[in-house]
Amino acid sequence: MSTHLLGRKPARLAPGLVLHPQISLKLARVHEACGPARRSFAMWLAGQAQGPVLWISPAWEPGQLNPDGMMAFADPARFLFVRPTRAEDLLWCMEEALRSGAIPLIIADLPGAPGLTPVRRMHLAAEQGGSMGQAPLGLLLTPGDGGAQGVETRWHMAAAHRDQTRRWTLTRRRARALPPVSWLAVQSRPRAGLNLQPLETGGAPS
């Protein structure tokens, strides 16, 4: 008796966290944000997510998140902060938090881009966490132009504020099935998310 390997039913789309009608980040995966406004990207993501947010950052870094700045995107009371004292513990904390399935959004503010092996381990951990409940999403914040290997998507964000208007240039630099694209991201009011206007790839706002 033959066995049909391909069914007639359409494939189910993987669930994602919707930032904007044009942007959805796949759950149970690890993504990367780089550029000078990468933390603003993380705050935007946190504002669109539900539940607690785990923020992992090095204990030796003097700078910390400013609650007043966070308020424009998300409630600071939702955040749990972990500050490991050893570099190797940053990725370990990220991996274990993803595997636990207890927190829907885990953000690691890293001093440099990790290699392929730890990113693969984090993907597997996120998949395991999803088997225990809602699939978590991991976001790596990396300096400069980033470059973490094996991430699901890579985003670059930089401030382009004009007068009292809060706005940024946002570029999707890497995605498995989508081309690079740039937007002008504008915040009309606090907690309102960001409105996107398409830009030429690599272009600057006028």
For residue 188, what pLDDT band results from cuts at 50, 70 and 90?
Answer: confident
**Tens digits of residue pLDDT in 127-141:** 999 887 789 999 999
What is the pTM assigned to this prediction? 0.89
Q: Where are the domains of the chain?
A: 16-155
Residue 55: strand pairing partners: 81, 107
**Tens digits of residue pLDDT in 92-131:** 999 999 999 999 999 999 999 999 999 999 999 999 998 8
Name the percent of the chain lying above pLDDT 70.
Answer: 90
Q: In sequence order, which residues have a C-beta less than 8 Å from that of residue 110 and are 6 or more positions away?
A: 58, 90, 91, 140, 141, 142, 143
**Tens digits of residue pLDDT in 65-78:** 999 989 999 999 99
Residue 165: strand pairing partners: 162
For residue 172, what pLDDT band results from cuts at 50, 70 and 90?
Answer: very high
Nearest in space to 90 (alpha carbons), one of 66, 109, 106, 68: 109
Q: In sequence order, which residues have a C-beta less than 8 Å from that of residue 66 and are 6 or more positions away?
A: none
pLDDT of residue 192: 81
pLDDT of residue 205: 59
CATH superfamily, with its number, for domain 16-155? P-loop containing nucleotide triphosphate hydrolases (3.40.50.300)
pLDDT of residue 12: 41
Range name among 79-83, 115-119, 168-172, 174-178 with the lowest pLDDT average: 174-178
For residue 191, what pLDDT band results from cuts at 50, 70 and 90?
Answer: confident
pLDDT of residue 10: 38
